[in-house]
Structure 1
């Protein structure tokens, strides 16, 4: 297996390896915009979809869902407020810890989660379907290995890396 990173020769213009950071950032951004547009057609956002799906999987608190969905506290509160206003979810005391509040999905929310999951699956299938069939499983396997292995956790940096801007 050959390395994607060429040996540095002192001539930055001589680097011919693909810019992995750009490729991942760009494709991720475009995928998010496509997802946002598709979910907007049913009045949903990717965050709303995430909260509904994670809340349907098992009893979870706002904090637990925020961690799973990589959302800060303020974003999570705003998202759950929107779901409550739409009648798709509600905050309830936990069955196991009365001090904790869980996100309970309503019947309408469960139906919306099915619709939004079909949209998410379709956007993903369309993206993967744009590749030659022989590359599809290799891409997914490689990204999964990176996400669960070498790139599973961010590293501390004194400068701090900015996350990609989200629309």
Structure 2
């Protein structure tokens, strides 16, 4: 029998995949309590940040065109968002979040923050910020802006 090649580094790909899968499952289960998927929550939050087209939202949420269409279809069926024509490009559709969608996105964000906080609770407090920053570097986005307020419509 031949000897396996010597490993000089820990298998971080495997560790990240297992950790990511476990966290994704926890997040999906928690959001299912309010009948949302992580994908729907992501689209709602990005659509609330500023007026964005379906194509822009798909890029931000890392969704292919077909998945994005079905996600927005689901959001529309639930009365959480609607497609509207863009004022600047008649071919583009803006995804507009309804009042109900805003309330659900706020509740969903509380759930997302709770699940992420619980995941980080497993680490010593002194290493959490460095861990999150290191994940950002590995993912190619070194600076996560951190929690962002959900903008409220004027006059509310």
TM-score by length of structure 2 reads 0.84
In the aligned structure 2, how far is the partner of 1:124 from the partner of 1:105?
A: 24
**Unaligned ranges ≥5, structure 1:** 1-9, 151-167
Query: Which sections of structure 2, spanning at least 5 residues, go unmatched?
Result: 143-156
1:131 and 2:123 aligned: yes
How much is the aligned-residue C-alpha RMSD, in angstroms? Answer: 1.8
2:25 aligned with 1:33, yes or no? yes
Q: Show the counterpart of 1:94.
A: 86
Q: 2:62 aligns with which of 64, 67, 70?
A: 70
| Matching residue of 1:22 | 14
Alignment partner of 1:61 is 2:57: no
4+ residue runs over 3 A deviation: 10-14
Per the alignment, residue 146 of structure 1 pairs with: 138
CA distance in structure 2 between the partners assigned to 1:67 and 1:79 by the alignment = 13
What is the CA distance between 1:147 and its match in structure 2? 2.3
Question: Which residue is 1:122 aligned to?
Answer: 114
Instruction: Give the number of equivalent residue pairs.
Output: 141
Cα displacement (A) at 1:15: 2.4
Larger Rg: 1
Distance 2:40 2:73 in 1: 10
Give the whole-Å Cα distance in 1 for the aligned partners of 2:94 and 2:5: 54
TM-score normalised by length of structure 1: 0.79
